[in-house]
């Protein structure tokens, strides 16, 4: 078993970062060859990185197929007798790992951790060879979804069924984790709050636990005072006068897990944890029993040169900008983000809707992808294909890995299980039920579940939205639907749809997870036209007025935080320009409009209505 716990140095653990310049080989003409014992060539690339923006030749940026990576490192003799695990935080979209010439693991999915126990294959006191084959193709069974076609010159080309760039490669950290063979591998937490006190119900998984070994949980507060201490592999820890983790007012306890044997420490792992509860009641989203109104963004892991590589400086900058805006939330559109993002959200008190990379689950691509988005064009059943069962198995596995990785983060308040899928067919309904049921089964805290709906998933399409604990909406009235001078008609149609949602039984909380208009920061026009900053302002003001009109609307997450890269095409000017900030994180005029609004809206806005 590979642990999803974030790698940390403790008194019993070592973590060695294997990042740096790795040898790389792009299989332009040698797809299918085996380089598991060493790769040819003399090219090197940073690991982690998205390779697409590092080169100047287009053939590298658009490369689709197998990429081979290689590095060497020495494992000291004194580590013999301990468990050695090579852990990848993410490699898109599928990876096969070879250690000293032997295959040790393979993994499908680009955004969740995987790895291998290499204790038996390691060569101690000498260099060890690590080779990784990463396949970047999009398939009918992959998350995110798409296809790969062959051009007439023999080159493979990825065709995404989604509107963001298909950055790939070893895009997140690679680490060697050294632990005892008896080790803390996982834990579950749930909470009960009574008055000023909290009960922490826990279950910890210890691999290779012996009969004479004892498990302990110690909880310490931010002043390093002991708040609770209990023993056993499962149980209940009582925290008196608890400081709850609150929205934009985070408080983190240190949860320290230990395994003892005859008074000697065998293993130790600790993590900062916020104590809080989340639930849906009527049309309210409740955190610690109190209503919250979500203010924030749909975002992307996307920045110049880095692509989707985790970039600590951009992480810090993005959170500072979101705080400046008065935001309190974001959705990880459209895939699990790097683990460090959730750690920062825990520290800053941000609410996160955590999304599975189930995007592109509709039969459209290229220009049609965004020409029909939000247009009400009803796609044919996506889930009636021969490949659906394999897709479902991949979907459930990625969901399981996501929940296992993120289940103990206080910031994660909900799971988003799809983005803009086909959701109107009987086949979709059967597929959705499995995924929604699995989300409930996997999550000890039973967080609310949802999926982001585009316009064909309207109030009259009752095949799938009934599975949601709350509704999340992606709407583009005034952009993809009746944009420009027709925007007055667009808003009439929008209100008509909202009135139909208001007549549903039951009415659930609604959060707008996407709404926006492409805007070039260089464009000003009076009177406004589409793509100008003035039009973006007018568009947003109309949406704000509508949000305020419906008491069950309990959140707004504008699309997008910042401009981001997409495939090239006549509908995109070097990327999607719906950002409130430019790709290099400079504000457009709309940032000041939204900042003023969000700073004035109370946290419990429309609570209890």
DSSP summary character for residue 456: T
Q: Which of 484, 503, 482, 502 has the alpha carbon at shortest distance from 493?
A: 482
Query: CA 332, CA 353: separation in Å to the nearest integer?
Result: 6
Q: Which helix (H) or strand (E) holds 16?
A: strand 14-17
The verdict on whether 192 is a catalytic residue reads no
Query: Between β-strands 102-108 and 94-99, what pairing exists: parallel, antiparallel or unpaired?
Result: antiparallel
Whether the CB-CB separation of 134 and 91 falls below 8 Å is answered with yes
| Both structure tokens of 384 | 């009636």
* Strands, E assignment, 262-411: 264-273, 278-281, 284-287, 290-291, 294-298, 329-331, 351-355
Query: CA 35, CA 40: separation in Å to the nearest integer?
Result: 8
Angle between helices 589-600 and 312-325 (to 10 degrees): 60
Query: CA 312, CA 340: separation in Å to the nearest integer?
Result: 8
Q: Which of 18, 31, 19 has the alpha carbon at shortest distance from 136?
A: 31
For residues 244-263, one letter each, b for 16 or more C-beta atoms within 10 angstroms of the residue's C-beta and e for the rest, the string is bbbbeebbbbbbbbbbbeee
CA angle 543, 544, 548 (to 5 degrees): 115
CA trace torsion 387, 393, 395, 396 (10° rounding):
160
The verdict on whether 600 is a catalytic residue reads no
Whether the CB-CB separation of 90 and 50 falls below 8 Å is answered with no
Query: CA 329, CA 555: separation in Å to the nearest integer?
Result: 9
Based on DSSP, count helices (H) and strands (E) in the chain, helices before strands.
Answer: 9, 32
Count of CB atoms within 10 A of residue 316's CB?
11
Q: Which helix (H) or strand (E) holds 595?
A: helix 589-600
| Both structure tokens of 509 | 């909380």
Catalytic residue of the set 420, 422, 454, 556: 420
Q: Which of 165, 149, 471 has the alpha carbon at shortest distance from 335?
A: 165
Query: CA 542, CA 552: separation in Å to the nearest integer?
Result: 18
Q: Which of 362, 364, 413 has the alpha carbon at shortest distance from 384?
A: 362
The maximal CA–CA distance of the chain, rounded, in angstroms, is 79
Q: Report, as residue numbers or ranges, the catalytic residues.
A: 420, 514
């Amino acid at each position: 078993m590979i642990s999803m716990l974030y790698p940390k140095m403790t008194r019993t653990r070592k973590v060695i970062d294997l990042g740096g310049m790795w040898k790389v080989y792009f299989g332009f003409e040698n797809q299918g060859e085996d380089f598991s014992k060493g790769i040819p060539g003399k090219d090197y690339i940073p690991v982690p990185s998205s390779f697409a923006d590092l080169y100047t030749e287009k053939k590298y940026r658009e490369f689709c197929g197998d990429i081979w990576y290689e590095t060497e490192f020495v494992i000291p003799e004194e580590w013999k007798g301990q468990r050695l695990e090579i852990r990848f935080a993410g490699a898109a979209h599928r990876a096969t790992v070879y250690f000293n010439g032997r295959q040790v693991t393979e993994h499908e999915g680009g955004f969740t951790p995987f790895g291998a126990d290499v204790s038996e294959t390691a060569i101690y006191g000498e260099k060890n060879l690590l080779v990784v084959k990463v396949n970047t193709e999009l398939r009918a069974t992959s998350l995110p979804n798409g296809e790969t076609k062959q051009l007439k010159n023999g080159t493979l080309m990825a065709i995404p069924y989604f509107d963001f760039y298909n950055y790939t490669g070893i895009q997140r950290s690679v680490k060697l984790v050294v632990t005892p063979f008896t080790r803390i591998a996982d834990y579950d937490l749930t909470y009960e709050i009574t008055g000023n006190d909290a009960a922490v119900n826990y279950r910890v998984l210890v691999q290779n636990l012996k009969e004479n070994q004892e498990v302990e949980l110690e909880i310490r507060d931010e002043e390093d005072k002991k708040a609770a201490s209990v023993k056993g592999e499962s149980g209940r820890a009582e925290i008196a006068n608890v400081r709850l983790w609150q929205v934009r007012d985070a408080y983190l306890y240190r949860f320290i897990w230990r395994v003892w044997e005859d008074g000697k420490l065998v293993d130790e792992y600790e993590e900062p944890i916020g104590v809080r509860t989340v639930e849906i009641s009527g049309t309210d989203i409740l955190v610690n029993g109190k209503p919250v109104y979500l203010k924030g963004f749909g975002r992307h892991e996307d920045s110049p040169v880095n692509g989707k590589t985790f970039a600590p400086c951009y992480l810090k900058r993005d959170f500072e900008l979101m705080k400046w805006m008065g935001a309190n939330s974001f959705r990880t559109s459209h895939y699990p983000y790097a683990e460090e993002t959730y750690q920062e959200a825990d520290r800053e008190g941000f609410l996160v809707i955590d999304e599975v990379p189930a995007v592109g689950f509709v039969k459209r691509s290229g220009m049609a992808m965004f020409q029909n988005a939000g247009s009400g064009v009803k796609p044919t059943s996506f889930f009636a294909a021969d490949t659906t069962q394999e897709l479902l198995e991949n979907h459930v596995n990625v969901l399981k890995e996501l929940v296992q990785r993120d289940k103990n983060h206080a910031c994660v308040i909900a799971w988003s299980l799809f983005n803009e899928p086909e959701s109107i067919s009987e086949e979709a309904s059967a597929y959705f039920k499995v995924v929604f049921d699995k989300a409930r089964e996997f999550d000890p805290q039973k967080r609310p579940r949802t999926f982001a709906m585009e316009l064909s998933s309207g109030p009259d399409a009752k095949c799938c939205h009934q599975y949601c604990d709350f509704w999340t909406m992606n709407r583009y009235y005034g952009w993809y639907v009746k944009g420009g001078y027709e925007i007055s008609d667009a808003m009439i149609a929008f209100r008509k749809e909202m009135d139909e949602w208001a007549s549903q039984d039951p009415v659930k909380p609604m959060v707008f997870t996407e709404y926006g208009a492409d805007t070039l920061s260089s464009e000003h026009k009076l009177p406004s036209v589409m793509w100008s900053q003035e039009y973006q302002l007018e568009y947003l003001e109309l949406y704000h007025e509508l949000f305020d009109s419906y008491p069950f609307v309990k959140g707004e997450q504008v699309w997008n935080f910042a401009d981001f890269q997409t495939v090239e095409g006549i509908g995109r000017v070097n990327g999607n320009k719906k950002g409130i900030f430019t790709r290099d994180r400079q504000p457009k005029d709309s940032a000041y409009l939204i900042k003023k609004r969000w700073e004035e809206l109370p946290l419990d806005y429309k609570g209890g209505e």
